[in-house]
């Protein structure tokens, strides 16, 4: 088994292979595992959304905020997101978990479109993917800007079942009362 967080070989304790959504800047394509995907539509499971910080230090590491949207700081770490999603054309749910700035910015832009309705509807948000634009940062690195438009709320797609081990891990944490964040505390 590899220690690469985004590898298809990564497994949970239950033995299920984890498959991750990622964007490869140099190839200008979205991938699920090692396969390129047509990112025409994506459905988010709002109950699994997490924000926090992440870094790569010989392996991917993440720390998640106790309250969604709470800003965490740690030297050498970047903002990170995690959410289970269904990608059009992929038959199983995939985990979108990253600290890559361009993907975190895309997630924040998507969340801005559903913020007021995130927990109010039994249906899940569906976004259309409008494209990506690659650019050079001030530091000379390649980055990308991704555009997603909210198309509406739809019933959970058939087969969009979050793995049991993820729900068990979430259930192990003691439930904390939801704290409303002030507008100054919300990083988005």
Please count the other Cβ atoms lying within 10 Å of the Cβ belonging to residue 29.
15
Please, where are the H alpha helices in 36-130?
Answer: 101-114
Domain assignment present for residue 120? The answer is yes
H or E element that contains 75: none
Looking at residue 47, the DSSP 8-state letter turns out to be G
Q: Is 2 within a domain?
A: no
Is the four-CA dihedral 96, 32, 167, 113 of positive or negative sign?
positive
Note the pTM of the prediction, 2 decimals. Answer: 0.78
Domain count, the chain: 1
Q: Is 149 helix (H, G, I), strand (E, B) or coil?
A: strand
Q: What is the pLDDT of residues 148-159, one digit of tens each?
A: 999 999 999 999
- Assigned domain for 94 exists: yes
With tokens 């959304």, the residue in question is 49
Exposed / middle / buried, residue 165 (Cβ in 10 Å: 0-12, 13-18, 19+) = middle
| Residue-number span of the structural domain to which 33 is assigned | 21-163
3-state secondary structure of 26: coil
Domain contains 177: no
Domain assignment present for 5: no
Q: What pLDDT, in 10s, does the model give residues 122-181? A: 899 999 999 999 888 888 888 899 999 999 999 999 999 998 887 666 655 554 544 555
- Beta strands 60-64 and 78-87, pairing class: unpaired
Is residue 62 a part of any domain in this protein? Answer: yes
Summarised one tens digit per residue, pLDDT across range 24-65 is: 999 999 999 899 999 999 999 999 999 999 999 999 999 999
């Amino acid at each position: 088994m590899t220690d690469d967080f985004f590898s298809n070989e990564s497994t949970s304790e239950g033995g299920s292979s984890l498959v991750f959504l990622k964007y490869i800047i140099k190839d200008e394509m979205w991938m699920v595992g090692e396969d390129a995907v047509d990112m025409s539509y994506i459905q988010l499971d709002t109950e699994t959304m997490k924000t926090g910080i992440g870094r790569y230090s010989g392996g991917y590491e993440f720390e998640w905020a106790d309250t969604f949207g709470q800003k965490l700081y740690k030297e050498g770490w970047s903002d990170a997101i995690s959410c289970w999603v269904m990608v059009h054309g992929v038959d199983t749910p995939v985990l979108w978990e990253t600290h890559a700035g361009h993907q975190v910015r895309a997630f924040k832009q998507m969340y801005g479109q559903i913020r007021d309705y995130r927990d109010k509807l039994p249906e899940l948000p569906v976004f259309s993917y409008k494209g990506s634009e690659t650019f050079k940062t001030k530091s000379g690195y390649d980055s990308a800007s991704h555009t997603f438009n909210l198309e509406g709320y739809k019933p959970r797609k058939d087969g969009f079942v979050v793995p049991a081990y993820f729900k068990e891990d979430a259930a192990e944490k003691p439930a904390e009362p939801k704290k409303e964040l002030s507008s100054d505390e919300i990083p988005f």
